[in-house]
Amino acid sequence: MKDIFQMYNIGHFINQPHNPTEFEILRFDEMAEPNVDDFHKHSFYEILWTEKGKSRQIIDYNEYEVKPNSLFFISPNQVHHFEEWKPLSGGTILFSEDFYLLNRSNKDPLFELSFLDNLYSNPCIEFTKKSFAEVSNLIYQIEAEQKRKDRNTSIIQAYLHILLAQVQRYIDTINPTIVSKKYLIQFKQFKQVLEDHFWENKTANYYAEQLHITQHHLNLICKAITNNTATDIIRARSILEAKRLLTFTDKSIAEIAFELNFSDGSYFAKTFKSFTNHTPQDFRSKMSEKYRTR
């Protein structure tokens, strides 16, 4: 399925599209505005840290107000728009999956971070002043190492690991509900396979087979992480893509239903309304006016 959004790498955000860099750290007041589409996808992870000021971010139709003493996380394949801001102090950390994993193929250490690749929790984390000071100190150490002429990539990677581990510890402190790391890893593996096949309209059993688990176990995992069934999550991903196609393309509703492998247009419309409380045409009219006129 052809993507309707431009996928940008880190180089695009420093206006060097052919630069293969896998890590950058930039302050808002020092960075040039990147030459990217308003609505776009990243091939990398981004952390916005805000010391002062406010901004409004949009990720796949969800709007977030980002306040001081906070971190905002953007993951690969999410449709992101930096909507508006008031004078900001802080900056952004951009890093690839390979950079975090030290070029290892096992993604479990990345999947264990509950706040990444997660559509089911708020990507904006507000800290107490004390906790944010601890996080900021780690960011400043990363920044200082990146600016050294003799900078050491291994040191930057180590600081990044510590920073994200510190964030996870803070989340675990304010939200003591314990989620099995094994379940979290399996859920993200499911989401990864889903991203490759959602448009084929496969069943929950298909995804369970791909993960070498039973459908019952897949449902247990999904309920534990999101309180939804696997089928709900599969359908929600199709509906998300339908929303994108309705908003940002001129394809007919019948064409969209066909592209997402719904049996017919009326079934697609019924399913869409059950998830959104809008008919596809009403949603298109509302969202096109809101987003495509920007």
Residue-wise pLDDT for 117-132, tens only, equals 876 678 999 999 999 9
User: If you search the block for the tokens 């800290």, which residue do you land on?
Assistant: 127
Determine the Cα–Cα distance for residues 189 and 290; give it in Å rounded to an integer: 34
Residues in the chain: 294
Q: What is the pLDDT of residue 292?
A: 63
Determine the Cα–Cα distance for residues 118 and 95; give it in Å rounded to an integer: 17
Strands (E), 96-203: 124-126
pLDDT at 293 over 60: no
Residue range 79-95: mean pLDDT, rounded = 88
- Run of H or E including 194: helix 181-197
pLDDT at 242 over 80: yes
Binned at pLDDT 50, 70 and 90, residue 138 comes out as very high
Q: pTM for the whole thing? A: 0.90
Nearest residue to 213 via CA among 242, 187, 239: 187
Amino acid letter, 115: F
Binned at pLDDT 50, 70 and 90, residue 146 comes out as very high
